A = this chain, B = another copy of it.
């Protein structure tokens, strides 16, 4: 598979909750990170998802927010991955931030250049990737 999604994590399904339309999939990645994604129940059926099954989780960089200070607030976003800024690339309007996680994985975030300045994002500094569950795509090897 070759896809533009900058974030592709291998892992295994650790929990699965089904509703009439939506389903919630919890994954433990190879690096030990926990990811939660919401997909349609139709995809759960067509992919044959079940607890324990090996999967990949795909997340587009533009769906990743970067938080440099999480004090004082608890978020509904189910995925908050704390790490260190490995690389910052600034364009005139957009910017790309790569966050290295303790388990060895890296998270790519596309955010605005303004945000990188206001948050004081710099290489080597702490940062948390914040990802809403609805932004996660699940893939299985066919």
Chain A residues near B (Cβ < 8 Å): 1-6, 17-24, 36-40, 42-44, 46-47, 56, 58, 60-63, 65-78, 89-96, 108-112, 114-116, 118-119, 130, 132-135, 137-142
Contact = CB atoms under 8 A, between A and B. Distances in A.
Contacts of A74: 46-47, 139-142
Given A89-B93, A94-B93, A96-B93, A142 B24 contact: no
A67 B18 contact: no
Contacts of A37: 76
A9 B72 CA distance: 15
Nearest to A43: B76
Q: Kindly report how many copies of this chain are found in the complex they form together.
A: 3
Contacts of A18: 20-21
22 contacts: A1-B67, A2-B67, A2-B119, A3-B66, A21-B38, A24-B42, A39-B132, A40-B78, A58-B75, A60-B65, A62-B62, A62-B63, A62-B110, A72-B142, A73-B140, A75-B138, A76-B138, A89-B93, A92-B92, A93-B95, A93-B96, A93-B110
Given A36-B40, A36-B42, A74-B139, 11 more contacts: A2-B69, A3-B67, A3-B70, A4-B65, A24-B40, A56-B73, A58-B65, A60-B65, A76-B138, A91-B93, A134-B134
